[in-house]
Structure 1
């Protein structure tokens, strides 16, 4: 009879402990949510940095004629009138047999 008196509180404690650790609002869920929060904060910071870089590039494209010209030359191959463009073939340093 006395052993039953110990089993009931032990079962209740194990039951509460189980839900404290594994329940919907348990310690494991809190740990997962904290990891997810840190990942979201990291991605948010990366996007903030990328957004700032894009804002600077937009501003440069609007106001800096030299930057705009360098983009036009590099990406579109544009040249000024009376300029001569020299193109060189790239050869690999490895000899083919």
Structure 2
């Protein structure tokens, strides 16, 4: 009786242990699946880096050869301007409740101030 149970259960238990080692053991099927997932992620990351590298290479080539591109980068990134150029910065939206001065009042005040200054100059010349 003992021999019969040993001949049945011993090979069965060996098969079960081998099966468990194949699936759950070190370098088993579960590890294979995780490694395949990791490999796929690394390949995708590598492809993104290759695209980024190509873009950077094209930028370097343009910076070496293309004067219009160099000017564009200097203006955009470095804020440089050409000689005799003036930069005018405009506010996008005034704050709620604020009025926007059109500058006409300031111009009128400056014009009247200039007239007063001219009159003072004439009086000084007369004396």
Common topology (TM > 0.5) = yes
Pair 1:70 & 2:72 matched: yes
* Partner residue in 2 for 1:95: 96
Provide the rounded CA distance (Å) in 1 between the counterparts of 2:77 and 2:17.
67
Pair 1:25 & 2:22 matched: no
Moved over 3 A (4+): none
Correspondences of 1:55-66 after superposition (within 5 Å):
55-66=57-68
Alpha-carbon distance, 1:33 to partner: 1.0
Please give the per-residue CA displacement for 1:19-48, whole angstroms capped at 9, x wherever unaligned.
100111211111111111111101110000
* Partner residue in 2 for 1:4: 6
Larger displacement relative to structure 2 (46-55 or 79-88): 79-88
Alpha-carbon distance, 1:90 to partner: 2.2
TM-score by length of 2: 0.69
Q: Which has the larger radius of gyration?
A: 2
Instruction: Count how many residue pairs are aligned between Structure 1 and Structure 2.
Output: 95
* Partner residue in 1 for 2:86: 84
Greater RCO, CA 8 A, separation 6+: 1
Q: What is the root-mean-square deviation in Å for CA atoms of aligned residues?
A: 1.6
Structure 2 unmatched ranges of 5 or more:
98-127
Structure 1 unmatched ranges of 5 or more:
none
Tell me the SS of whatever aligns to 1:47. Answer: helix
